[in-house]
Amino acid sequence: MSIYEVQNMISNLFYTTGLMYMSWKFLAMWVISGIFLYLAIVKNFEPLLLLPIGFGIFIVNFPLVPLMGFSDGKPELLRAFYQYGLEWEIIPCVIFLGLGAMTDFGPLIANPKTLLIGAAAQLGVFVTIAGCVLAGFTVKEAASVGIIGGADGPTTIYLTQALAPHLLGANALAAYSYMAMVPLIQPPIMRLLTTEKERKIRMKQLRPVSKTEKMLYPLITCVVIALLVPAVVPLMGMFMFGNLMKESGVVGRLTETAEGALMNIVVIFLGLSVGATMEAEKFLNPKPLFIFGLGLVAFAFSTVGGVVIVKIMNLFLKDKINPLIGNAGVSAVPMAARVSQTVAMQYDKGNYLLMHAMGPNLAGVIGTGAAAGVLMALYK
């Protein structure tokens, strides 16, 4: 073999590596990935979401990696997770099944007034829709971006796939990022809108809820949803089915699988798939970055809506509601409810708001689903 042939072989081999194709864009995405991983590992902010998302961002941002493309007409590894899980809307429905199996609707049944908080916390959805339309988005695109304000990742994926599938990656990333950063975003807004006296309000203990009530609730809710907003029955139906399995007490093995092993598996696929949508060439352009910013606006307005409606309700209620549970009207279960508890205890260490906050938190899940159903009915 001649020296020329050896040089040519080495040159060809070098071009099969990613070294020749590196750019500053990949380095920028590594920094973004590092932020997600730092928040997950060091700060412990929702590591079950942020760690797989962060690693997904990292692993797809190398030249030539066979992860998000197609090979011989077949999807590569992370493309398969994304295509069959998110584009086909399987993962959102399975996640809602698992969430239902983990959910106790007792606080919402015991205090149905909190449904109003969940409804008011959809403020960010509609404010952002209006802002998106003014910014030049189509109505369908605006609706898919606005739903981020509900802080419900599966619902965001479900609605975006129906109305604006080309925005699925950017919307899913924004929704899950802000869901995970609830402890950073919400407390300053909550403090800004409340007085110290309001933060120290102690609420009466919730009444006991019977097993019969808990079993009937998912069935009645399914009837209402199926009749009024049938478009979201695949999502909310799975949520109520998971809850019925839990409350019936007769399918313990199925409930344990749904809330445990199955949930863990789909969260891995979900996190990697969402992170993998952040390829440098696709993410580092104005529209995805603008959507990421709008997601923060949507989430902030939703938090404002939840807190303000409690203050308005207190004008008419004898037994006052602590406005700090208003933030839980978004659909980030149970993260938002934990934030209510954390902030309250900073001002009164004996003020336990967690169970009270779970009512609006669950109402937010239903409210976001209802909002998505209305938007699908109007624009699909």
* Domain ranges across the chain: 83-379
Reply yes or no on whether the pLDDT at 10 is more than 70. no
What local confidence, expressed as pLDDT, does residue 72 receive? Answer: 84
What local confidence, expressed as pLDDT, does residue 7 receive? Answer: 60
pTM of structure = 0.88
Give me the DSSP letters along 120-153: HTTHHHHHHHHHHHHTT--HHHHHHHHGGGG--H
281 confidence band (pLDDT: 50, 70, 90): confident
Mean pLDDT over 139-154 rounds to 89
DSSP 63: T
How would you class 59 by CB atoms within 10 Å of its CB: exposed for 0-12, middle for 13-18, buried for 19 or more? middle
CA dist., res. 290 & res. 161, Å (int): 19
Instruction: Write the CA distances from 282 to 57, 81, 167, 205, integer angstroms.
Output: 12, 18, 11, 50
CA dihedral (133, 139, 145, 147) in degrees, to 10, reads: 110
- 74 strand-pairing partners: 71
Reply yes or no on whether the pLDDT at 40 is more than 80. yes
Amino acid occupying residue 108: L
For residue 74, report the phi and psi dihedrals to the nearest 5 degrees: -105, 140
Q: Do 251 and 270 meet the contact criterion of CB atoms below 8 Å apart?
A: no
pLDDT 10s digits, 77-135: 999 999 999 888 899 999 999 999 999 999 999 999 999 999 999 998 988 899 889 88
Q: What is the bridge-based pairing of β-strands 74-75 and 70-71?
A: antiparallel
For residue 66, report the phi and psi dihedrals to the nearest 5 degrees: -90, 70
pLDDT 10s digits, 50-68: 899 999 999 999 988 888 8
208 confidence band (pLDDT: 50, 70, 90): very high
Instruction: Write the CA distances from 170 to 37, 265, 324, integer angstroms.
Output: 19, 23, 30
Percentage of the chain exceeding pLDDT 70 = 95
pLDDT 10s digits, 182-200: 888 899 999 999 999 999 9
331 confidence band (pLDDT: 50, 70, 90): confident
In the chain, what's the furthest Cα-to-Cα distance? 94
pLDDT 10s digits, 286-308: 888 888 888 888 889 999 999 99
Average pLDDT, the chain: 89
**C-alpha closest to that of 245 among 317, 341, 295, 253:** 253
What local confidence, expressed as pLDDT, does residue 13 receive? Answer: 62
pLDDT: which is higher, 315 or 284: 315
